[in-house]
Structure 1
Amino acid sequence: MMKALGEGITMGLLLSVMVGPVFFTLIQNSITHGFKYAIALAAGILLSDFFYVLVTYFGISLLTQFPNFEWYLAIFGGFILIGFGLSSFFKKIKDRPITGGLPVGQARKRTAFFKGFGINGINPFVLLFWISIAGLVAINDDYDRFDIGVYYLGILVTVFVFDLLKAFVAKQLKAFVTPKVMVLMNKTVGLVLLLFGIRLFWYAFSLSA
């Protein structure tokens, strides 16, 4: 159980420090509308991630009954993670105000939850990421159902806690998270994701050996 929790927290940390639309949206909305608004926003993001967890895990669990599916899943998941890794490693960060690409309007707390759910849910890369996570889970013979639940819980709770942390220290982050810092974060995350992708390719190779 502790191994599953530790690996889930590690993956959650990777997802948390990836600089993307959700990162900028949390920072911008916390600064503009306040921490309570950002809490509702983070809750919407959490529910969106949980929905994708259910879809990808149960969907892939059904498909594992087909011959050679694990091999195809490992190859597909490996390409996804390597693609994420390369994209993160070579991503350029522009020195511009933190807006998240969204207009800053009148604060309405009742819409914050749905905004968080929508921003995270409509991003196709989020779905692809959770597919790759489901692939990692599917190839891990050491995990039983309880361990899998703990693994996913570790990811979701870590992401949610760090989303709240980012929102809470938003003003400080705005001052200290410079383009150079974000580039370093992206390169670090990119390298780790590449390693996870190679792990999936190695698993596919072991299946065909």
Structure 2
Amino acid sequence: MIQSLWEGVSMGLLLSAIVGPVFFTLIQNSMEHGFRYAAVLASGILLSDTVYVILTFFGIKFLAEAIYFQLILGYVGGLILIGFGISSLLKKKISRPNTGGIEIPTTRKRTAFAKGFGVNGVNPFVLLFWISIASLVSTKDLWQGADIRAYYFGILLTVFAIDLIKAFLAKQLSHIMTPRLMWLLNKAVGLVMIFFGLRLIWHTFGS
């Protein structure tokens, strides 16, 4: 259980390193409206991720008894991770914050939760990521229910904690996160995701 928790924390750190619409939304709103507002927004992101965890895990578990499903799932999940990795490697330098075409109007704090839930929830890559995670979990034959819960708990708690740290250090991050640094970060995240994808495919091939 401890091992699965640490694996979840490691995957959560990887997910937190992705520089995308959610990252810029969190930083932008923290700078404009303050830490408390951004913390509520991060709570909405957490709920959105939790909903995706439940949908993908139980959806895949429901289909797990189908013939060859685990093999197909392993290959598809691996390819999704590799696709994420390649996408990160091909990203160009970002000259200014980009919210992915999603308009982020100035609103009251009571709408921060809905904003965080919406920005994260409408991103199709978030769903694909959780599908790949559910695929990875399905290959862990020795994991019991407690191990799976610890793994997901590690991911969600780590992502939420890092989001709070990002919000707290938003003004500092706005100066530190130069276009070149974000470009290098995307490259590093891309390589790690490709590694996880290849490992998942290799494990599926050997099963």
TM-score exceeds 0.5: yes
Task: Give how far 1:89 is off.
Answer: 1.5
Aligned position for 1:44: 44
Task: Give how far 1:183 is off.
Answer: 1.1
Q: After TM superposition, where is structure 1 displaced by more than 2 Å over at least 4 residues in a row? A: 98-107
Amino acid at match of 1:36: R
CA deviation string 1:2-29 (max 9, x = no partner):
1101100000001001000000000000
Amino acid at match of 2:68: N
Question: Partners in 2 of 1:128 and 1:103 — Cα distance?
Answer: 23
Are 1:116 and 2:116 counterparts? Answer: yes
Map residues 1-209 of structure 1 onto 2, 5 A cutoff. Answer: 1-96=1-96, 98=97, 100=99, 101=101, 103=103, 105-207=105-207
Task: Give how far 1:168 is off.
Answer: 0.4
Question: Partners in 2 of 1:142 and 1:172 — Cα distance?
Answer: 43
Number of matched residues?
A: 206
Cα 1:102–1:201 change in 2 (3 A) is closer
Question: Partners in 2 of 1:34 and 1:82 — Cα distance?
Answer: 36
What SS is found at the alignment partner of 1:18? coil
Q: Is the 8 A contact 1:32 1:104 kept in 2?
A: no
Q: Is the 8 A contact 1:81 1:194 kept in 2?
A: yes
- Normalising by structure 2, report the TM-score: 0.96
Task: Give how far 1:204 is off.
Answer: 2.4
Amino acid at match of 2:108: R
CA deviation string 1:44-91 (max 9, x = no partner):
000000000000000100111111111000010011000000101121
Q: Is the 8 A contact 2:70 2:139 kept in 1?
A: yes
Query: Structure 2: which 5+ runs fail to align?
Result: none
Query: Structure 1: which 5+ runs fail to align?
Result: none
Amino acid at match of 1:121: G
Question: Partners in 2 of 1:99 and 1:73 — Cα distance?
Answer: 32
- Normalising by structure 1, report the TM-score: 0.95
RMSD over aligned Cα, in angstroms?
1.2
What SS is found at the alignment partner of 1:142? coil
